[in-house]
């Protein structure tokens, strides 16, 4: 595999080019791509041209370039994330009908939570992430839930690092975080009170796969009213349990910390079934 003078492989440089695009900058020029990917303009031009030829990138107008549809097609063919999102979406829609704020699904990727789906209502509170966006794993409800059900070695590896404080309420003390992980496993959910941004509270519950492993975290994000968030926790946990069962998860793993099911959630599901007949 060809390497640059710096020792980087061709694939590493191509990945840096693809990572240049984000939700705020979906269209870039070659000069902008070169700057964001930290590549010489001539190298960026050559690699971008190759990516255009195989349709992983596409042109917009004369100079603009954006991620191509073919890249989405290739990733969607056999991605476990796509199946997870498809299984979860009906439950997310029902939960969103109850909460009427942000409803999100996230997976653990390194030291971050990657958001793979989000449902929102016009006028919802400002959210810290978006689809394909990332949040620090230690500073959000989804991340702490995902870590709580991950291997202890993974948790300790994170706790051995310096943790950034995003608000005055972000918990960065390893001893306190270990206690939170134990509490999450006992209760089956976690409420993060303004840990990521000052004006929002998130609550998350685990989603398990057919092997009983943590697959994702289902999250709701509401304005900073803890009592209101807690009132939605039964619906959140009911939806998370429904996703887990649809993935083949064991009921015994989910029932140990499961509160009474939320009748509002089931009312939404009944109404949907009636509307189909």
- Tens digit of each residue's pLDDT (9 = 90 or more) over 101-126: 899 999 999 999 999 999 988 766 66
Q: Show the DSSP H helices in the chain as ranges.
A: 10-18, 30-37, 41-53, 69-77, 80-99, 141-148, 152-159, 174-187, 226-246, 251-255, 263-275
Would you state the torsion angle of the CA atoms of residues 24, 218, 191, 150, taken in this order, to the nearest 10 degrees? -100
| Same domain flag for 119 and 248 | yes
Predicted local confidence at residue 276, as pLDDT: 57
**Percentage of the chain modeled with pLDDT above 90:** 66
User: How many CB atoms within 10 Å of residue 82?
Assistant: 14
| Same domain flag for 60 and 82 | no
Please give the average per-residue pLDDT across 37-57, as a whole number.
96
Higher pLDDT, 209 or 224: 209
| Same domain flag for 232 and 118 | yes
Which of 24, 51, 70 is the last residue in one of the domains?
70
User: How many CB atoms within 10 Å of residue 211?
Assistant: 10
Higher pLDDT, 127 or 73: 73
Confidence of residue 260 (pLDDT cuts 50, 70, 90): very low
Q: What is the SS3 assignment for 122?
A: coil
| Same domain flag for 156 and 244 | yes
pLDDT surpassing 90 at residue 80? no
| Same domain flag for 45 and 102 | no
| Same domain flag for 238 and 158 | yes
Give the C-alpha separation, 274 to 75, whole Å: 35
Predicted local confidence at residue 223, as pLDDT: 84
Q: How many domains does the chain have?
A: 2
Query: DSSP secondary-structure letter at 9?
Result: B
């Amino acid at each position: 595999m060809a390497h640059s003078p710096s020792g980087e492989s061709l694939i590493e440089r191509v990945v840096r080019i693809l990572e240049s695009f984000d939700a705020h900058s979906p269209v870039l020029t070659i000069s902008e791509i070169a700057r964001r990917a930290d590549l010489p303009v001539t190298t960026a031009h050559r690699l971008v041209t190759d990516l255009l030829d195989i349709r992983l990138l596409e042109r917009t107008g004369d100079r603009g370039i954006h991620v191509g549809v073919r890249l989405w097609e290739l990733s969607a063919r056999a991605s476990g994330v796509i199946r997870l999102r498809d299984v979860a979406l009906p439950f997310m829609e029902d939960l969103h009908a109850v909460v009427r704020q942000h409803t999100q699904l996230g997976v653990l990727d390194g030291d971050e939570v990657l958001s793979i789906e989000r449902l929102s209502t016009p006028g919802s509170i400002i959210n810290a992430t978006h689809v394909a966006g990332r949040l620090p794993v230690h500073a959000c409800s989804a991340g702490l839930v995902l870590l709580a059900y991950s291997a202890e070695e993974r948790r300790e590896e994170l706790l051995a690092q310096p943790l950034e404080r995003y608000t005055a309420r972000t918990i960065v003390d390893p001893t306190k975080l270990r206690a939170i992980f134990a509490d999450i496993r006992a209760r089956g959910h976690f409420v993060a009170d303004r840990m990521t941004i000052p004006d929002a509270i998130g609550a998350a519950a685990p989603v398990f796969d057919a092997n009983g492993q943590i697959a994702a975290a289902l999250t709701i994000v509401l304005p900073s009213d803890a009592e209101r968030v807690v009132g939605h926790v039964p619906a959140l946990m009911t939806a998370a349990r429904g996703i887990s069962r649809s993935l083949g998860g064991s009921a015994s793993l989910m029932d140990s910390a499961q509160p009474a099911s939320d009748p509002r959630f089931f009312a939404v599901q009944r109404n949907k079934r009636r509307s189909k007949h």
